[in-house]
Amino acid sequence: MKNIKLLVGALSKWIAGVVLVFALLFLPASTLCYPGGWLLLAILFIPMLLMGVFLYIYAPDLLEKRLRGKEERVKQKSVVAWSGLLFVVSFVVAGFDFRYGWSAMPGWMPWIAGLLLVAAYVMYAEVMRENAWLSRSIEVMDGQQVVSSGLYGIVRHPMYTATILMFLMMPLVLGSWWAFLVMVPYVLVIVRRINDEEELLERELDGYLQYKQRVKWRLLPLLW
């Protein structure tokens, strides 16, 4: 019964996501003949579905954790709100951009951005494989340990590196420079999230201070 409930919940969120993104893109575009919109839908939701099926079969606890995560910290609630706002505004701007032809983007750019978006998905999946304590909300769970292998041996927050790449590539897949500019502040939103998260981890997760000393970079080696 629990697994059936999990399946229904996961499928409901996936379908709701497809409907939401479809509406945000195609209503402003005022046409179904929007190649970038269909490309983004395929890149976003086909891997998401496959990953969900994999987690449902092999790691249902992790899937449940990803679905039910809800922020309790005030700073993180604002981070979630700003992320959602940038996501919505960027997609709406992209739809209008396609409708009115505001951007002049080389035809190869959306395809390169699509490949980078898929690469970010692969990176995100690897982070999920490496870190069994991965959660949508900022928290320290019972028995949680510091993960320092794989991507976590290069940067402290590889999941956020992947999500930044995802968010920045989505407007380019849609062929919109203006939507890309709208999405750029997402980097600052993630920086705020990381700073708050590290305060919690330093205080509540054993070994995190030592891990910070070993792995200097938060998001990108040699930059930050």
**Per-residue pLDDT tens over the stretch 175-192:** 999 999 999 999 999 998
User: 164 or 79: whose pLDDT is higher?
Assistant: 164
**What is the domain extent for residue 136?**
2-214
Structural domain includes residue 219: no
Task: Enumerate the H helices of 139-185 as residue ranges.
Answer: 158-173, 177-183
Structural domain includes residue 171: yes
**What pLDDT, in 10s, does the model give residues 4-59?**
888 787 888 899 999 999 999 999 999 999 999 999 999 999 988 888 888 788 77
Query: Quick check: 71 and 138 in contact, CB under 8 A?
Result: yes
Structural domain includes residue 220: no
Structural domain includes residue 141: yes
Structural domain includes residue 224: no
> ∠ at Cα 127 (6, 57), nearest 5°?
30
Total tally of structural domains belonging to the chain: 1
Structural domain includes residue 222: no
Structural domain includes residue 84: yes
